[in-house]
């Protein structure tokens, strides 16, 4: 109808993988359920071949047409995407290159490989062979340094958590978990079919330091904010909530900690419009006041007098962990600078005009499932 403006879709931001003490840690298999997907376009090609720009254009174009979009961000480049998902269409476009190699699970039926390498001038790239190898090796070296720094920092953070664990009032924490379950789920019985869990990161250690997308993920939801500064953890609380939500049959999104990538930091229950988040000095939401946000201070569960006995120990751990994390960030930033240099050898040899046709083809095929 003429004159009717289509409302733009909501864009959510998250990370499918991250730089962690365990190296690059991937939850890529949760970007989209390959058994439920209508189409997964897997982009292959070198750095600088336009994968991220292509995905951004596809996502923004479909958002303008009213579709909600999920932008999957790259933890090693704040300006790049690793994927875009259109949930209503059950379609995804993902970067299938290292360090998150993706190969088709159901080739032809669901997955389609798009090789952007067919649009480059091979001879021009081969002329830069030695430089490409040199810069690629520098990138790997910088990431090795970063992951060692993060691993060292994680040991100090684990030591801090052990101190907090010793002075935790476990009875008070257990009572809080019970009350929180009642608040979220009431007296409902277990569902016949358990819910499904989706695993991702809401935050990442990037060339710009700690970066999070909590605001985009929590927008429009009732927020339960667990304030846990200085080494206190919400891991056990969120594990219990996760288990209960799944037993009750709710599909959930679980977001993990970049410094401990198998520990839950946030849970979102889409059907309840509820976000339960961990807030600390590294990440938080902007709007922490108002009727849609309830804050609980995790420090209330710890013996403050007992903590004072460990004050110098905790200060040492915090100071040195932060120093090591900053060194890791500097190494990741150096890797990003090298990656930018590497891209130049490909950019000058790419025919980007061809990517316009690729974009239109992907959008056209995606809209077949509307």
| pLDDT above 70 for 4 | no
| pLDDT above 80 for 186 | yes
In a domain, 311, yes or no: no
Q: Mark out the alpha helices in 101-255 (DSSP H runs).
A: 122-126, 129-166, 170-185, 214-218, 235-247
In a domain, 271, yes or no: yes
In a domain, 293, yes or no: yes
Which residue range forms the structural domain that includes residue 247?
A: 168-302
- Is residue 189 located within the same domain as residue 291? yes
Query: What is the structure's pLDDT at 5?
Result: 57
- Is residue 114 located within the same domain as residue 190? no
| pLDDT above 80 for 224 | yes
pLDDT (average), residues 169-182 = 96
Q: Kindly give the pairing relationship between strand 197-201 and strand 252-257.
A: parallel
Query: What is the structure's pLDDT at 279?
Result: 94
Query: Where among 302, 324, 344 does a domain terminate?
Result: 302
pLDDT (average), residues 255-279 = 97
Q: What is the pLDDT of residues 106-157, one digit of tens each?
A: 999 999 999 999 999 999 999 999 999 999 999 999 999 999 999 999 999 9
In a domain, 356, yes or no: yes
Query: What is the structure's pLDDT at 1?
Result: 40
In a domain, 312, yes or no: no
Which helix (H) or strand (E) covers residue 226, if one does? strand 222-227
Query: What is the structure's pLDDT at 230?
Result: 76
- 337's tokens: 């600078």
- Is residue 115 located within the same domain as residue 188? no
In a domain, 342, yes or no: no
Q: What is the pLDDT of residues 31-61, one digit of tens each?
A: 999 999 999 999 999 999 999 999 999 999 9
Angle at 217 between CA 214 and CA 223, to 5 degrees: 80
In a domain, 246, yes or no: yes
Residue with tokens 């992907």: 362
CB 43 within 8 A of CB 116: yes
- Is residue 178 located within the same domain as residue 267? yes
Residue 233 binned pLDDT confidence (cut-offs 50, 70, 90): confident
Instruction: Determine what percent of the chain is predicted with pLDDT higher than 70.
Output: 98
Tell me the pLDDT of the chain averaged across its residues: 94
- Is residue 298 located within the same domain as residue 172? yes
For residue 48, CA distances in Å to 141, 153, 218, 347, 348 come to 20, 33, 33, 5, 9
- Is residue 85 located within the same domain as residue 175? no
In a domain, 126, yes or no: no
Top pLDDT among 267 and 288 is at 267
- 237's tokens: 């609380």
Query: What is the structure's pLDDT at 126?
Result: 96
Q: What is the pLDDT of residues 85-105, one digit of tens each?
A: 999 999 999 999 988 888 888
Domains in the chain: how many in total? 2
- Is residue 264 located within the same domain as residue 200? yes
- Is residue 84 located within the same domain as residue 174? no
Instruction: Determine what percent of the chain is predicted with pLDDT higher than 90.
Output: 90
Q: What is the pLDDT of residues 325-335, one digit of tens each?
A: 999 999 999 99
As a whole number of angstroms, the distance between CA 136 and CA 127 comes to: 15
CA-atom Rg of the chain in angstroms: 22
Whether this model's pTM surpasses 0.85: yes
């Amino acid at each position: 109808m003429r004159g009717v403006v289509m409302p733009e879709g909501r864009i959510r931001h998250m990370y499918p993988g991250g730089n962690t003490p365990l190296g690059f840690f991937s939850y890529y298999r949760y970007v989209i359920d390959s058994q439920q997907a209508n189409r997964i376009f897997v982009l292959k090609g070198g750095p600088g071949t336009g994968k991220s720009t292509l995905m951004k254009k596809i996502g923004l174009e479909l958002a303008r047409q009213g579709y909600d979009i999920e932008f999957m961000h790259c933890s090693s480049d704040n300006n790049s995407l690793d994927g875009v998902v259109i949930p209503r269409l059950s379609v995804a476009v993902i970067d299938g290159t290292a360090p998150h190699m993706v190969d088709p699970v159901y080739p032809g039926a669901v997955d389609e490989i798009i090789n952007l390498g067919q649009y480059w001038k091979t001879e021009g790239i081969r002329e830069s062979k030695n430089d490409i190898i040199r810069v690629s090796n520098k990138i790997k070296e910088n990431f090795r340094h970063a992951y060692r720094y993060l691993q060292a920092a994680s040991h100090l953070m684990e030591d801090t958590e052990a101190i907090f664990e010793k002075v935790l009032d476990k009875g008070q924490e257990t009572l809080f978990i019970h009350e929180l379950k009642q608040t979220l789920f009431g007296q409902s019985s277990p569902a016949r079919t358990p819910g499904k869990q989706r695993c991702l990161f809401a935050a990442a250690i990037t060339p710009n330091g700690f970066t999070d997308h909590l605001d985009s993920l929590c927008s429009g939801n009732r927020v339960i904010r667990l304030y846990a500064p200085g080494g206190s953890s919400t891991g056990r609380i969120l594990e219990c909530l996760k288990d209960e939500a799944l037993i009750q049959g709710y599909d959930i999104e679980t977001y993990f900690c970049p410094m401990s990538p198998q520990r839950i930091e946030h849970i979102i229950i889409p059907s309840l419009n509820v976000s339960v988040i961990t807030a600390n000095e590294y990440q938080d939401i902007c709007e922490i006041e108002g009727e849609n946000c309830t804050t609980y201070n995790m420090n209330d569960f710890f013996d403050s007098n007992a903590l004072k006995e460990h004050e110098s120990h905790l200060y040492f751990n915090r100071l040195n962990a932060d120093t090591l994390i900053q060194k890791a960030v500097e190494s990741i930033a150096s890797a990003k600078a090298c990656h930018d240099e590497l891209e130049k050898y490909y950019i000058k040899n790419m025919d980007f005009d061809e990517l316009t046709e690729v974009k239109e083809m992907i959008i056209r095929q995606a809209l077949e499932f509307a």
